[in-house]
């Protein structure tokens, strides 16, 4: 089982400068390697679609008559010694860290062309600016690198860190990454305990050991026991503070140095909001996992909920499409971060031996959970009043009850 531990690093001034220099060099190399992959891809493909639905590759590149070699992981890794000859300052970067940069290019490009292991394709990878390239990784960290509250990193030396939580016994150190964040440098250690196999917990579903939750905006979730958790709205609470700072930044009479300082304050405030939200999600996920062994949730496509409204165009004129109100709703979706909560819940369940099962979300709010009759209601109706069995309960609680029945396989709607 793999786990990540993150610690705050306390590098000296010279170490900080060296980390920044490495990040800059690695970023330049990342952009160069990504550029050469784009080049090859641009000149060696044609857009005619062959019957299997795949792009056909023409036999030679457009510019010259000789087919250029496809820059892949092997050829790009093999180019590193030459790079060190031409630009000797790259010798200062630890070799495995430099190789890991090649791997990052490979992965981001692969996700763009082929998709990940579930076939989900990402967008076109970006060329990284200084603000977007913030991490480098030692892919083969050794256990003896950790000495007390210091870590001995090759070519960077001994760096102090705040060891607020010890790594459990029996775990082996796999990788070590250094990340630059708004408030300093962080060390992320991936550790693995090979004695614990990664198995799905074998739990028999019963009425008593399972619980269902209905996720939403008005309440983060309502469970099938009737317990509800209201959203904390961390972003909304700090919105005024943020707006004041943004206004200060927009004031163009200030010097660039002052602007830099304000930008830093804004970045830290955003970091604080994100941390508050994450902490809250972890606490709520843990409470849920302690309640029941099996948790049913709706299989929501959360990215779709945050889409912009479609423009309404009649005879060349754009009509009001409600996007102004939808923008506020989208902000609340981001503030609630349902997707992050689901991810943290899954992680927590794995750690605590719980099982998360996803249920089809279609029509879970339109049927009565008691008599299973169809009771249509729009979004503004917050109460479920069944004309058939005369039950009157909260709409989200009704959904949670129905999700539990669906999960247990009692009903299908």
Give the binding site for Zn ion (CB under 5 A): 368, 370-371, 386, 388-389
CB of 215 to Zn ion, least distance (A): 23
Nearer to Zn ion, 194 or 392 (CB): 392
Phi, psi of 172 (to 5 degrees): -105, 140
Nearer to Zn ion, 22 or 367 (CB): 367
CB of 170 to Zn ion, least distance (A): 53
Distance CA(212)–CA(201), nearest Å, equals 18
Among 407, 349, 401, which Cα is nearest to 223's?
Answer: 401
Nearer to Zn ion, 292 or 375 (CB): 375
How is residue 214 annotated by DSSP?
E
| Per-position DSSP letters for 51-80, written without gaps between them | TTSSB---SS-SSSSSPPPP--HHHHHHTH
CB of 410 to Zn ion, least distance (A): 15
Distance CA(354)–CA(203), nearest Å, equals 8
Query: Helix count (H) and strand count (E) of the chain?
Result: 10, 16
CB of 205 to Zn ion, least distance (A): 24
Phi, psi of 185 (to 5 degrees): -105, 145
CB of 320 to Zn ion, least distance (A): 38
Query: Contact 224/404 with Cβ under 8 angstroms?
Result: yes
Nearer to Zn ion, 310 or 390 (CB): 390
Phi, psi of 286 (to 5 degrees): -65, -45
Phi, psi of 359 (to 5 degrees): -120, 145
Nearer to Zn ion, 300 or 370 (CB): 370
CB of 372 to Zn ion, least distance (A): 7
CB of 371 to Zn ion, least distance (A): 3
Nearer to Zn ion, 67 or 389 (CB): 389
Query: Contact 370/384 with Cβ under 8 angstroms?
Result: no
Distance CA(131)–CA(136), nearest Å, equals 14
Distance CA(306)–CA(147), nearest Å, equals 47
Nearer to Zn ion, 196 or 371 (CB): 371
- Residue 354 CA, chain-centre distance (Å), reads 22
């Amino acid at each position: 089982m793999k786990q990540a531990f993150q610690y705050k690093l306390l590098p000296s001034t010279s170490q900080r400068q060296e980390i920044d220099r490495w990040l800059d060099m690695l970023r330049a190399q990342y952009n160069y390697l990504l550029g050469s992959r784009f080049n090859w891809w641009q000149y060696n493909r044609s857009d005619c679609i062959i019957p299997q639905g795949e792009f056909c590759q023409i036999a030679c590149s457009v510019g010259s008559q000789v087919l250029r070699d496809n820059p892949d992981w092997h050829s790009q890794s093999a180019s590193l010694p030459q790079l060190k000859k031409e630009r000797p300052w790259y010798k200062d970067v630890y070799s495995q860290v430099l190789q890991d940069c090649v791997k990052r290019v490979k992965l981001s490009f692969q996700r763009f062309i082929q998709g990940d292991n579930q076939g989900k394709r990402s967008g076109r990878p970006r060329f990284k600016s200084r603000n977007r390239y913030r991490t480098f990784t030692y892919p083969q960290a050794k256990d003896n690198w950790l000495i007390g509250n210091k870590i001995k990193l090759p070519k960077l030396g001994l760096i102090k860190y705040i060891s607020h939580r010890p790594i459990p016994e029996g775990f082996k150190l796999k990788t070590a990454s250094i990340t630059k964040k708004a408030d300093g440098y962080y060390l992320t250690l991936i550790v693995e305990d090979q004695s614990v196999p990664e198995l799905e917990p074998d739990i028999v579903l019963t009425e008593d050991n399972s619980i269902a939750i209905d996720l939403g905006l008005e309440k983060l979730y309502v469970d099938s026991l009737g317990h509800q958790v209201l959203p904390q709205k961390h972003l909304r609470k700090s919105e005024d503070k943020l707006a004041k700072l943004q206004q200060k930044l927009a004031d163009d009479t200030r010097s660039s140095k002052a602007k830099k300082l304000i930008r830093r304050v804004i970045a830290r405030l955003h970091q604080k909001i994100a941390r508050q939200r994450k902490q809250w999600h972890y606490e709520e996920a843990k409470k849920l996992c302690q309640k029941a062994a099996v948790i049913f949730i709706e299989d929501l496509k959360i990215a779709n909920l945050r889409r912009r409204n479609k423009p309404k165009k009649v005879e060349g004129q754009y009509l009001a499409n409600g996007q102004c109100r939808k923008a506020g709703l989208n902000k609340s979706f981001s503030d609630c971060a349902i997707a992050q909560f689901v991810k943290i819940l899954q992680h927590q369940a794995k750690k605590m031996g719980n099982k998360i099962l996803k249920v089809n979300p279609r029509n879970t709010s339109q049927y009565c959970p008691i008599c299973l009759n169809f009771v249509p209601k729009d979004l503004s109706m917050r109460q479920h009043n069944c004309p058939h069995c005369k039950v009157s309960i909260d709409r989200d609680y009704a959904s949670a009850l129905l999700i539990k029945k669906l999960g247990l396989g009692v009903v299908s709607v």
